[in-house]
Amino acid sequence: MSINVSVVIPLYNEDESLRELDQWIKKVMTENQFTYEVIYVNDGSNDKSWQVIEALSEENNAAKGICFSRNYGKSAALFAGFEMAEGDVVITMDADLQDSPEEIPELHSMIVNDRYDLISGWKKKRYDPISKTLPSKLFNGVASWLSGIKLHDFNCGLKAYRKEVVKSIEVYGEMHRYIPILAKEAGFVNIGEKVVRHQARKYGVTKFGLNRFINGFLDLLSIHFMTKFGKKPMHFFGALGSLMFFVGVLSALWVGGVKLWYVFQGVQAERVTESPYFYLSLVSMVLGTQLFLTGFIGELVSRSSSERNVYKISKVIKHR
Ligand code: UDP
Ligand code: MG
C-alpha cells in the first residue's frame, strides 16, 4: 500500500510534547483519510524522548523511529528521516508543538494538485521573542536576495516536499536553514510558500542560541559560493587574482616610469620606496599571485573529487 504522507520530525529533548503531537497528527490524518507514517528522529536526546517514541510505536503502527547515538544536529536528523521516508509527500515539522499538524492537508494538496516541488511554511505572525524575529527578518531578506527564491521564512520547520526532492538533496552541517536553496540547486524550481499558524513553545526550551545568526550567515555565504563557483573556483579566484596582479603591474610601471623620466631629465629623483605606488604594487602583486594559486588549488581539489561528474538526470532518450 502506498503511503500518502511521511511526517519527519527531528527532535532533541522533547519528551513532554511527543505524545500530544502524535495524537494530533493521528487525528488530522484520520480525518483526511491519509495513509501516513511519522518518522521520529531522536537526535541524541538525554531525556526520555526515545522511551516515549518506543511506546508510541507500539500503540501506533504509523509511528516509526530513528535513534542517533549522539547529538548530530537538526540537519543530520532531517537527512536520516528523508532517507527512510516512503510517502509521496514528505512533511517536516518541529517536535515542540510550535508547528500545527492542521496545516498538513493543505500542504499535501499544494504538492499533489498544484504541482509544487516544495512548499515552505511562513510564520507570518510569530510567537517568538524579538531577539529572534528581528535578525531573522534581515536574514531572510539576504537569503532571498542571494538565492533569488522569493520566500519570507527560509528556516521554518514546517515544510512539504515532493518525494523526489528529499531523495535528491543532501542536508548536512547546519544547512537545514537553506533547504529551499539546496532544492533549487538540484533543479526543483517550483517552490512556493504558505502562511502557517505558529504557537509559542509549550514545553522545554529552544535548542538554538544566538550564535545561530553568526553560523547561519556563514553558511549562507558558503552555500552561495558553492552554488556559484563550487565547480569552477578558478573563475572566482583567478579573475580576482589576475585583476589584482594587473593593478600591481600598472603601479610598478608607473613607479619605474616616473623614476626613469626624472633620470632622463637629469633631475634628482625621489627614491622609489617613497612613492605610495611602490607599496600598492608590492601588495597587489603578492595578493594577486596568492589568489590565483588559491584558485588553482581549488580547481585541483574539485577535479579530484569523486563527485565531479555526478549529475541528477531526470530524463533520457536513447535508441538501440
Ligand atoms: N532539534 C534537533 N537537534 C538539535 C537541535 C534541535 O533535532 O540539535 C530539533 C528540536 O528538537 C525541534 C526542532 O529541531 O524539534 C527545532 O528546534 P527549536 O524549536 O529549538 O528551534 P526554534 O523553534 O527555536 O527555531
Ligand atoms: Mg521551536
pLDDT of residue 70: 96
Neighbours of ion ligand 2 (CB under 5 A): 94, 96, 98
What is the percent of the chain where pLDDT is above 90? Answer: 78
Per-residue cell: 40: 521520529
- Per residue in 267-286, is it b (16+ CB within 10 Å) or e — as a string? eeeeeeeebebbebbeebbe
Residue from 8, 9, 12 to probe ligand 1 pocket by mutation (most atoms less than 8 Å from CB): 12
Q: What is the mean pLDDT of the chain?
A: 94
Ligand 1 atom 13: residue of nearest CA? 94
pTM here?
0.87
How does pLDDT run across 197-207, given as a tens digit for each residue? 998 888 999 88
Residues with Cβ within 8 Å of residue 230, at least 6 apart in sequence = 302
How does pLDDT run across 12-30, given as a tens digit for each residue? 999 999 999 999 999 999 9
Ligand 1 shell residues, CB under 6 Å: 10-12, 14, 43, 71, 73-74, 77, 94-96, 98, 157, 206-208
Spacing, Cα 127 to ligand 2 middle (Å): 10
Whether 312 shows a pLDDT value over 90: the answer reads: no
How far is CA 312 from each of CA 9, 168, 192, 254, rounded to the nearest angstrom?
Answer: 27, 8, 22, 52
How far is CA 105 from each of CA 101, 237, 279, rounded to the nearest angstrom?
Answer: 9, 48, 66
Band of the pLDDT at 111, cuts 50, 70, 90? very high
Spacing, Cα 99 to ligand 2 middle (Å): 8
The helix (run of H) or strand (run of E) holding residue 119 is strand 118-122
Nearest Cα to 176, choosing from 53, 80, 46? 80
Atom of ligand 1 nearest to the CA of 71: 8
Strands of 118-122's sheet, edge to edge?
Answer: 63-67, 36-42, 5-11, 89-92, 159-162, 118-122, 191-195
- Is residue 123 within 8 A of residue 200, CB to CB? The reply is no
Whether 1 shows a pLDDT value over 80: the answer reads: no
Nearest Cα to 117, choosing from 179, 195, 191, 171? 191
Ligand 1 atom 19: residue of nearest CA? 206
Whether 183 shows a pLDDT value over 90: the answer reads: yes
Name residue, grid cell 499558524. Answer: 197
| Spans of all domains in the chain | 5-228, 234-304
Residues with Cβ within 8 Å of residue 35, at least 6 apart in sequence = 1, 2, 3, 4, 5
Alpha helices in the chain (DSSP H): 15-31, 49-59, 74-84, 104-112, 130-147, 163-168, 179-185, 211-229, 233-265, 276-303
User: DSSP string of 203-228?
Assistant: SS--S--THHHHHHHHHHHHHHHHHH
**HEC letters along 193-207:** EEECCECCCCCCCCC
Whether 32 shows a pLDDT value over 90: the answer reads: yes
Residue 1 CB neighbours (<10 A): 4
- Is residue 21 within 8 A of residue 63, CB to CB? The reply is no
Whether 239 shows a pLDDT value over 90: the answer reads: yes
Whether 132 shows a pLDDT value over 90: the answer reads: no
Q: What fold is seen in the domain 5-228? A: Spore Coat Polysaccharide Biosynthesis Protein SpsA; Chain A (3.90.550)
Whether 250 shows a pLDDT value over 80: the answer reads: yes
The Cα angle at residue 136 between residues 206 and 92, in degrees rounded to 5: 60
- Per residue in 153-190, is it b (16+ CB within 10 Å) or e — as a string? bbbbbbbbbbbbbbebbebeebbbbbbbbbbbbbebee
64 strand-pairing partners: 39
pLDDT of residue 314: 82
Spacing, Cα 48 to ligand 1 middle (Å): 16
